[in-house]
């Protein structure tokens, strides 16, 4: 399993990074990204700590740990600068908290994230066709989410991405130990979103490619 969207106690998760990675390792994870929620108030707090613990864990576990961040509820006009700041602080993978249908994310967040060249647009909700096309052009992956609530729009996201040629990944948005999933479970979530078995395998390949770029 490659999971590029998880949270720890550095934001609103339940576990310290070491325990999250250990639990992920036990159920067969190969790669995990630590992407705690961030904005201008806390990037300098969470990213250096995530970088440090990722470096330590990568030397002592069988799981590749990627230090990242999820830019969350930031006004669209500020997203570009925040993404640049996050990368400057050492985030190897940048996710933006997209326009999920279960939270009041400001309209325009999806487009701003795409234009900023993030790696993954998480749970993008009822993303417009124009934004899907732009995501394809910019190489931004759209997320199929295993998380309750956010997953309600998975079928829509999968269908519009397939039709317009955008890349998809399957992530957990883990906040607690019970949110971690096996690769088999991720495959089932993809099928439930209306994807073919081949399309689900392509999601896994997309995650592999993103992870490879992040650890180069």
Give the model confidence (pLDDT) of 95-109 as tens digits: 999 999 999 999 999
Question: Is pTM beyond 0.95 here?
Answer: yes
CA-CA-CA-CA dihedral for 146, 152, 158, 159, to nearest 10: 160
Judge whether residue 213 has pLDDT over 90.
yes
Residue 216, pLDDT score: 83
Residue 113, pLDDT score: 98
Supply 64's token pair.
């590749």
Mean pLDDT of the 35-60 span: 97
Produce one character per residue of 25-54: b if its CB has 16 or more CB atoms within 10 Å, e if not: beeebbbbbbbbbbbeeebeebbebbbebb
CB of 6 closer than 8 Å to CB of 46 = no
Residues 6+ apart with CB under 8 A from 19: 177
Sign of the C-alpha dihedral computed for residues 34, 38, 44 and 45 taken in this order: negative
SS3 71: strand
Judge whether residue 34 has pLDDT over 90.
yes
Residue 201, pLDDT score: 98
CB of 85 closer than 8 Å to CB of 126 = no
pLDDT in tens, 159-210: 999 999 999 999 999 999 999 999 999 999 999 999 999 999 999 999 999 9
Strand partners, 207: none
Strand partners, 122: 97
Residue 175, pLDDT score: 98
- 2-215: CATH, from 3.40.50.80, 3.40.50.300, 3.40.50.620, 3.20.20.140: 3.20.20.140
Distances (CA, A) of 212 to 62, 101, 154, 176: 16, 31, 25, 26
Listed range (57-61, 83-87, 93-97) with the worst mean pLDDT: 57-61
């Amino acid at each position: 399993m490659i999971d590029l969207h998880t949270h720890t106690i550095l934001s609103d998760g339940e576990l310290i990074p070491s325990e999250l990675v250990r639990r992920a390792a036990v159920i067969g994870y190969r790669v995990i990204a630590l992407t705690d929620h961030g904005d201008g108030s806390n990037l300098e707090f969470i990213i250096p700590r995530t970088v440090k613990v990722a470096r330590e864990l990568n030397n002592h576990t069988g799981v590749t740990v990627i230090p990242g961040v999820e830019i969350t509820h930031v006004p669209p006009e500020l997203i570009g600068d925040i993404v640049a700041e996050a990368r400057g602080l050492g985030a190897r993978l940048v996710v933006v908290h997209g326009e999920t249908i279960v939270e009041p994310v400001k309209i325009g967040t999806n487009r701003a994230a795409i234009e900023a060249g993030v790696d993954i647009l998480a749970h993008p909700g009822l993303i417009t066709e124009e934004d899907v096309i732009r995501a394809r052009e910019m190489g931004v992956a759209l997320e199929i989410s295993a998380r309750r609530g956010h997953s309600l729009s998975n079928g829509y996201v999968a269908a519009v991405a397939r039709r317009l040629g955008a890349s998809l990944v399957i992530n957990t948005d883990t906040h607690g130990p019970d949110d971690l999933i096996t690769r088999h479970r991720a495959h089932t979530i993809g099928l439930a979103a209306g994807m073919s078995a081949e399309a689900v395998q392509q999601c896994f390949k997309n995650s592999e490619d993103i992870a490879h770029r992040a650890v180069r």
